[in-house]
Amino acid sequence: MRAALIGTGFGEQHLSWLTKCPQVELDSVVYATNRERAERLARRFGAAKVSDDAADATDGPSDLVIVASPVFLHAEHAARALSNGKSVVCEKPLALTTAQAQALCSAAREHDAATMVMFQWRFHPALQTLRDALREGRLGRPVCADLQFHHDFLAGEPTPFPWRHTPGQAGAGAFADMGVHLFDLLRWLTGEEFHVAGTLSSTLWASRRSASGTVAGNTEDTGAALLRADSGFPATVSVSRVTGGRRSLRVSLSGDAGSAWADVCPETTAASLASSVPGLQGAWAPGSLRNPYLDFLAPVSGTAGSHVPDFSAGLAAQRLLDAVRMSEVAPVGQ
Ligand SMILES: NC(=O)c1ccc[n+]([C@@H]2O[C@H](COP(=O)([O-])OP(=O)(O)OC[C@H]3O[C@@H](n4cnc5c(N)ncnc54)[C@H](O)[C@@H]3O)[C@@H](O)[C@H]2O)c1
């Protein structure tokens, strides 16, 4: 299987995962602005070609296209790859809007394409253990869920990502960066659908300096959303990309028989799981996140991975992302 990557920011992580899959041969690495970085990655991970034209990936010889470009390009790049019969792995959020995500889902169905949205936290053993415990009834009937994803990669005023601060390019701010992971986790952990009841968010920096000039801070840097599961229990989602000194993904699930909470370090993927349930505890060393491509590529050898988030999971998370944006009570600048 030949693979092509579009986007060399977080795309580097995809290359690192892909090179651990023996059936994958890297064909091309596509960039827009930094050829030197693309060449360095191509050398390090053994890609045959470096290009500044996304068509070399979407229309080239690869069977699999990885879309790790900024969010406003996902729909274009993924749709073109699908129309050329490729399998597609797309970064989160799947698109800028629910309408775009819906169109991508339809195209994937039409072409019978294998797809995945990079909701990699589904592949963490701490969260899989938590999910199993809930589904086996060890926590009893769910009564509430509280999810937090806090980071500080944009706590300072300068930004290496001007596109992240512009709604038309990023779709949203911290809710698109990290909230969409939590929307996916909520659905996947509990097996429930959710409705958004209300949202508050704020933007820390009204403008930011970037290498290409000053950019207005028009997307949220922090946010909190209140949701309700179809079965009735409430859930909270709290996100921040400006929380100085804190980098953590926390999931707490409570039922009428017990409570459990997991803490994952997004940098090292080390994790812990604690609970009120006997035997439901654990600690995971750095590097514990399972390579998502192992499960995505498993159907090729006939053993489908059950946790793979395909484009329909991307669409479901996108609906919640759009609902959160629509339910904003009153954006507050600081
Ligand atoms: N799953 C995760 O945990 C995770 C983490 C970080 C980023 N992401 C996602 O990855 C995507 C990229 O984010 P990033 O942080 O890497 O951003 P980035 O700005 O660092 O990288 C974007 C890359 O896209 C390339 N690019 C831009 N326009 C292009 C074009 N027209 N054709 C080809 N390439 C183009 C740029 O050259 C750059 O290499 C976003 O969707 C983001 O949400 C996901």
**Token pair 């370090």 in the structure block, residue:** 265
Which ligand 1 atom is at minimum distance from the Cα of 10?
A: 16
Side by side, the strands of the sheet bearing 2-6 are: 49-51, 25-30, 2-6, 64-67, 87-90, 115-117
Model confidence pTM above 0.95: yes
Pick the last residue of a domain from 64, 88, 117.
117
Residues 39 and 135 in one domain: no
Do 111 and 133 sit in the same domain of this protein? no
Q: Whose alpha carbon is nearest atom 23 of ligand 1? A: 7
**CATH label of the domain that carries residue 273:** 3.30.360.10
Ligand 1 centre distance from Cα of residue 2 (Å) = 21
From 16, 91, 210, 264, the mutation candidate for ligand 1 (largest count of ligand atoms within 8 A of CB) is 91
Q: Are residue 74 and residue 162 in the same domain, yes or no?
A: no
Minimum CA distance residue for ligand 1 atom 30:
32
Per-residue pLDDT of the chain (334 residues; tens, 9 = 90+): 999 999 999 999 999 999 999 999 999 999 999 999 999 999 999 999 999 999 999 999 999 999 999 999 999 999 999 999 999 999 999 999 999 999 999 999 999 999 999 999 999 999 999 999 999 999 999 999 999 999 999 999 999 999 999 999 999 999 999 999 999 999 999 999 999 999 999 999 999 999 999 999 999 999 999 999 999 999 999 999 999 999 999 999 999 999 999 999 999 999 999 999 999 999 999 999 999 999 999 864 444 447 999 999 999 999 999 999 999 876 554 4
Residue at which a domain ends, from 83, 117, 151: 117
Same domain, 144 and 90: no
- Closest ligand 1 atom, CA of 34? 37
Lookup: tokens for 144? 């509430």
Give yes or no: residues 95 and 201 share one domain.
no
Which runs of consecutive H residues, i.e. helices, occur in 228-287?
Answer: none
Which residue, among 119, 242, 241, has the nearest Cα to 187 in the 3D structure?
119
Say if residue 150 is in the same domain as residue 272.
yes
**Closest atom, ligand 1, to C-alpha of 266:** 3
Evaluate the CA torsion angle 84, 302, 136, 125 in order and state its sign: negative
Assess whether 91 and 134 both reside in one domain. Answer: no
In this structure, the answer to whether residues 325 and 178 fall within a common structural domain is yes
Whether 205 and 142 share a structural domain: yes
Residue 299 located in a structural domain: no
111 and 192 in a single domain? The answer is no
Position 73: which residue type? L
Q: How many domains are contained in the chain?
A: 2
Same domain, 194 and 77: no
**Residue of minimum CA distance from atom 40 in ligand 1:** 70
Q: Could you give the CA distance from residue 133 to residue 128 in angstroms, rounded to a whole number? A: 9
* Residue of minimum CA distance from atom 18 in ligand 1: 9
**Which pLDDT value is given to residue 300?**
45
Q: Looking at the structure, do residues 151 and 19 belong to the same domain, yes or no?
A: no
Residue 143's domain comprises: 124-288+311-333
Listing DSSP states for 62-79 in one string gives: -SEEEE-S-GGGHHHHHH
Contact 314, 186 (CB under 8 A): no
Q: With respect to residue 231, please indicate whether it lies within any of the assigned structural domains.
A: yes
How far apart are the CA of 161 and the centre of ligand 1, in A?
9
Contact 142, 232 (CB under 8 A): no
Please state, in angstroms and rounded to a whole number, the distance separating the CA atoms of residues 76 and 67.
10
The protein residue whose alpha carbon is closest to atom 6 in ligand 1 is: 10
